[in-house]
Amino acid sequence: MHELTLRYGMNPHQVPARVFTETGVLPIEVLSGSSGYINLLDGLNGWQLVRELKAATGLPAATSFKHVSPAGAAIAIPLSGAEAQACFVADLELSPLACAYARARGADRMSSFGDFVALSDECDLPTAQLINREVSDGVIAPGYTPEALALLRAKRGGGYRVLRIDPAYEPPALEQRQVFGITLEQHRDDALIGPQLYRNIVTRSTEIPPNGMRDLIVATIALKYTQSNSVTLAHNGQVTGVGAGQQSRVHCTRLAAGKSDLWFLRQHPRVLGLKFAKGLARAERNNAIDLYLGGELTRAEQSAWEACFRDVPVRLSQADRADWLAQIHEVALSSDAFFPFRDSIDRASTSGVRYVAQPGGSLNDQAVIEACDEYGMVMALTELRLFHH
């Protein structure tokens, strides 16, 4: 047995804590910092996600994990000028891997604050430079260039967690967990996500172009490692919204679609043109944008928000938001279980969703199909439930 002592378990009072294998050696190596229980949960789930994204698309992949669900995930597609500004990376020269992490981190910057990063490829210097300037708990990757490792080891005074994982490691077919002293065992979820999963198209519209297929794959692989119930939206090779851990399917969809809307609204010219107060930290700028795009502010929020700007901006009206979002099309949506009602499709239609994947099997499948037909969506029934707990 090979083991690694952890700082603590789920919470600081849960000690001792460790990670270990019954046979063989641990496939992870600590290069810097001291990890906790949740760090390992995020890191190991995130590694599986990016490994599968890389295998499915052939492109470097990254994810920003937070509390055992992805806040964002993406593959290495170059960013447009507006996307780079929205991700706060317009001042950097990005490698392909850094592009993937910029997208993964940038789509939901509020949720990514204090994330655990997972990278499919060796971490290079541009990616390390991007990670170094964000508030983050740690990173896991199959390797690091010497320059990248030196930079990350210096982060947080040497306390930043840097893990290396053996890319050749394959887990056993059976996995176990304990709950209340009782051991549960199951075959691990090794379902393969690829184009073959979306062959059973049941709507009048049947064409899924390469970009739509890519985004369905990205959304579904991210979904596979998201706490259920969950719905995920993706566009242009990145997750744009995650609705994780909700008991109601429509609440998953509302959450994911709302986050996706915010990603696209962050690229509105008036958002990109905001003039922040001198010296305002990146996290504070991000919070100011979130309030700018949010609902009505309290008096205290209004006062604090106004202090973030050199010139107090006029917030987007509902009409401004609707006009901008009406330009968004070709978004992919994947659901980890069937839609019991058409309400999720109705909500998704307002967020540019064109391609839908879900297992099917509801008594209301026909009503859901008819809703997709009303909006001109393409829907595939995968017959693959992807609950993750």
Q: Which amino acid is at 298?
A: T
Two tokens, residue 178: 């304990």
Catalytic annotation present for 66: yes
Look-up of token digits 């006029």: 314
What is the DSSP code (8-state) at residue 352? T
Burial class from Cβ neighbours inside 10 Å (0-12, 13-18, 19+) for residue 145 reads: middle
Query: Which is catalytic among the residues 229, 236, 286, 287?
Result: 229
CA distances from 67 to 10, 93, 115, 385 (A): 10, 30, 8, 22
Q: Residue 362 phi/psi, 5° resolution? A: -80, 155
Catalytic residue among 13, 278, 329, 389: 389
CA 368, CA 374: separation in Å to the nearest integer? 10
Residue 263 tokens read as: 């990603």
Whether omega for the bond prior to residue 167 falls within 30 degrees of 0, making it cis, is no
Contact 309, 288 (CB under 8 A): yes
Q: Is 229 a catalytic residue?
A: yes
The DSSP bridge pattern shows strands 61-66 and 115-119 to be antiparallel
Which residue of the set 39, 54, 66, 224 is catalytic? 66
Q: Rg (Cα) of the chain, in Å, rounded? A: 21
Strand order in the sheet with 331-335: 28-32, 161-165, 136-141, 115-119, 61-66, 69-75, 238-244, 230-235, 331-335, 353-358, 378-381
CA–CA distance, 374 with 356 (Å, rounded to integer): 14
Tokens of 200: 């059973």
Q: Identify the active-site residue in 67, 211, 251, 364.
A: 67
Active site amino acids = 66-67, 229, 389
